[in-house]
Amino acid sequence: MKIDWNRKYTTIAVYAFLVLTAVAAAVITLLNLSGITKTLGKFIEVINPVLWGFAIAYILNRPTKFFKRKVFRFLETPKKPRKKLINCLSIASVYILFIAFIFALLAILVPQISYSISVFAENLPEYLSSLDTWLQQIAHDLHADELIEGGVSLSNLFDKAFTYLEAILPVIANAGIDIATKIVSYASNAVLAIVISIYTLLSKDLLISQAKKVVYALFNEKYADNTIALTRESNEIFSAYISNVLLEALIIGILHFIVLTICRVPYTPLISVIIGITDIIPYIGPVVGAAISMLLLFVVSPAYAFTLLIVTICIQQLEAHIIAPKILGESTGLTKFWVVFAILLGGGLFGLPGTILGIPLFAVLYTILRQFIYSRLKKRNLSIRSEDYSSEVDD
């Protein structure tokens, strides 16, 4: 029997089939969302060392380029390019310097931090006594003694805390075992991530060529060219942002170390490291780092905590008006509103990594949308300047 295929109805049937397939896939996904999420989380956990390896390689890619172009370029000749030799020497130099920097930082910080901890432990009874006196005085002034059974004192608070800890001691023991297991797992994953990062840098050119080959195989030439151009622009945004944020965090940590040393604030190395690391997180990080450090100093003396607060406020003003504009500039192309929005959205969806990478990721999406809007406006012979669409509204 010969079937008379009508092009119109065949097209309708194909579209109907695709729509039904998409609806069925969406329903199946919603019904099994918890299982899919669990499977996806397990998959990410398995490939976590690979992701960290890619991240380390991405961060060290810029220093590797510098060594290729500026340090070992003299080994290249027209007859003997020696690209593999230059690449290997550059990668080895970067990792040697990176590891040397880590060990030098530890050699400087560990003795001072251990000394600070020993001094803190030695003076802890005196600190607690002063804090107890201060709490009792505040409670007496606010007439809060009757609100807490046994009165407001550190001994009473510690008794209540120990009573609670005794009840949850098995839970704490299990948590300690889990933490020890995770530490061992993290250490092995860290070593594996470093190895993967080395192999990634060694095979970077091949991996990029293979990715381009796949793009040109799947899409037409125009779309492939646009995709690769967008990828390059995204890479510039990400690499510049990450490098500048790390440099800015280093400067902020050094500034805190210098100023706090001059002010003779105790535990300066530890506080500088905490503030420098947390400064990597935009906007929220400096507040968290200062709060943790102030809590540490508050036990010693409220005056030291107040000194740190003043120093942090001054350095943050310096960072906001001088350091950040000079280092970060307008590299992301986002206004302050979209920066805060990107931090909240990234942090809400992906936690701490989303908070750090939310800004460059949102900048890429913003660039894609901006290019699309500009192309549509140009086709209609309309202005792309936002100022041309503003209007005065009378109060």
pLDDT (tens digit, 9 = 90+) per residue, 185-206?
A: 777 888 888 888 888 888 888 8
57 band by pLDDT with thresholds 50, 70 and 90: confident
Residue 384 has pLDDT above 70, yes or no: yes
Tracing tokens 């793009």 back to the chain, one arrives at: 215
Helix axes 221-262, 268-278, angle to 10 degrees: 160
Tell me the DSSP string of 19-31. HHHHHHHHHHHHH
Cβ atoms within 10 Å, residue 381 = 6
The C-alpha atoms of residue 56 and residue 336 are separated, in whole angstroms, by 28
395 band by pLDDT with thresholds 50, 70 and 90: very low
Lowest mean pLDDT among 48-52, 147-151, 168-172, 369-373: 147-151
Q: What average pLDDT does the segment 351-359 reach?
A: 69
The C-alpha atoms of residue 221 and residue 224 are separated, in whole angstroms, by 5
Residues 6+ apart with CB under 8 A from 298: 304, 305
221 band by pLDDT with thresholds 50, 70 and 90: confident
The C-alpha atoms of residue 200 and residue 8 are separated, in whole angstroms, by 51
Residue 124 has pLDDT above 60, yes or no: yes
Q: What is the pLDDT of residues 132-145, one digit of tens each?
A: 676 666 666 666 55
Structure tokens at 141: 């002034």
What are the distances in angstroms from CA 220 to CA 81, 212, 216, 257, 371? 34, 12, 7, 55, 20
Residue 263 has pLDDT above 60, yes or no: yes
Structure tokens at 17: 């089939």
Residue 244 has pLDDT above 50, yes or no: yes
Tracing tokens 């690979």 back to the chain, one arrives at: 50
Q: What average pLDDT does the segment 10-24 reach?
A: 76
Q: What average pLDDT does the segment 32-55 reach?
A: 75
CA 167 to chain centre: 37
Residues 6+ apart with CB under 8 A from 65: 90
Return the pLDDT at 1.
44
Alpha helices in the chain (DSSP H): 7-31, 33-46, 48-66, 83-142, 154-167, 169-202, 204-218, 221-262, 268-278, 284-300, 302-318, 324-327, 336-379
Choice between 6 and 117, residue whose per-residue pLDDT is larger: 117
The C-alpha atoms of residue 274 and residue 316 are separated, in whole angstroms, by 15
Q: What average pLDDT does the segment 363-378 reach?
A: 81
What percent of the chain is modeled with pLDDT above 90?
1
Q: What average pLDDT does the segment 5-26 reach?
A: 72
Return the pLDDT at 142.
63
Lowest mean pLDDT among 82-86, 116-120, 313-317: 116-120
Q: What is the pLDDT of residues 283-294, one digit of tens each?
A: 778 888 888 888
Return the pLDDT at 185.
75
Q: What is the pLDDT of residues 306-341, one digit of tens each?
A: 988 899 889 888 877 777 766 665 556 666 677 777
Structure tokens at 298: 């508050």
The C-alpha atoms of residue 359 and residue 338 are separated, in whole angstroms, by 8
Return the pLDDT at 393.
47
What percent of the chain is modeled with pLDDT above 70?
70
Cβ atoms within 10 Å, residue 2 = 4
Q: What average pLDDT does the segment 3-12 reach?
A: 60
The C-alpha atoms of residue 344 and residue 336 are separated, in whole angstroms, by 12
DSSP designation for 72: S
Return the pLDDT at 377.
82
55 band by pLDDT with thresholds 50, 70 and 90: confident
The C-alpha atoms of residue 394 and residue 177 are separated, in whole angstroms, by 66
Q: pTM (2 decimals)? A: 0.64
Lowest mean pLDDT among 16-25, 124-133, 231-240, 245-254: 124-133
DSSP designation for 389: G
Mean per-residue pLDDT of the chain: 76
Return the pLDDT at 274.
85
